[in-house]
Amino acid sequence: MNARNILTISGLLIFAIGSWYLASLNQATEITKTVSDTEFGGFYLRSARIFGTDDDGQLLYEIEAEYAEQKENKEIELQNVRINYSSGANVPWTINADVAMISDDYDLLRLSGHVVAISEDGFSGQVTEIRAPHLDIDPIGYRAETDSRVQIRIGSRSLTATGMLALLQDNRLHLKSNVSGKFVP
């Protein structure tokens, strides 16, 4: 081995060690930056499923969402939401919304954006559909309430009102004001 080969190998070795050292410095910087971006400790999920149970652990309802993210105020925002009650809960309603906010005490869901509640066993035994821009749901108490405008279809009949309270398990609906409707015989 001549001096030229030794010098070339030494140069390559020094270059490799220098590259490794610079790469390790760059990695540490990236990790520090990533950690500092999530200081509040929130989370996010794709294809989230949340199960609500009673005191005995029996399934009451399931919330499915395409995306879930915990906000800094500890509320959880869900996107493209679907709420299904279990057959044991005896609540024949399915509720869909663009966005749902779960309160920090997990007792209330605030739905917004194209909120639609549908029951195949609705009022008078006919398919019933409720549409509203906003709806507050107490999933364990089986209550849905809004002060905004609602549209209700029961078979071929339709109603509009301002404000509503729906007792989902009892299949009862209370309209608050400005009720008008169309009934076809």
pLDDT by residue (tens digit) across 7-63? 777 777 777 776 766 666 655 444 444 444 445 567 888 888 988 888 888 888 899
* Chain centre to alpha carbon of residue 92: 20
pLDDT at 32: 44
How would you classify the pairing of strands 172-182 and 157-167?
Answer: antiparallel
* Chain centre to alpha carbon of residue 107: 14
pLDDT > 70 in the chain, percent? 83
Tell me which fold the domain 44-182 belongs to. lipopolysaccharide transport protein A fold (2.60.450)
pLDDT at 172 exceeding the cut of 80: yes
pLDDT per residue over 121-170, tens digit each?
A: 766 678 889 999 999 999 888 899 999 999 999 888 899 999 999 888 88
- Name the residue with higher pLDDT: 79 or 173: 79
Structure tokens at 12: 């390559």
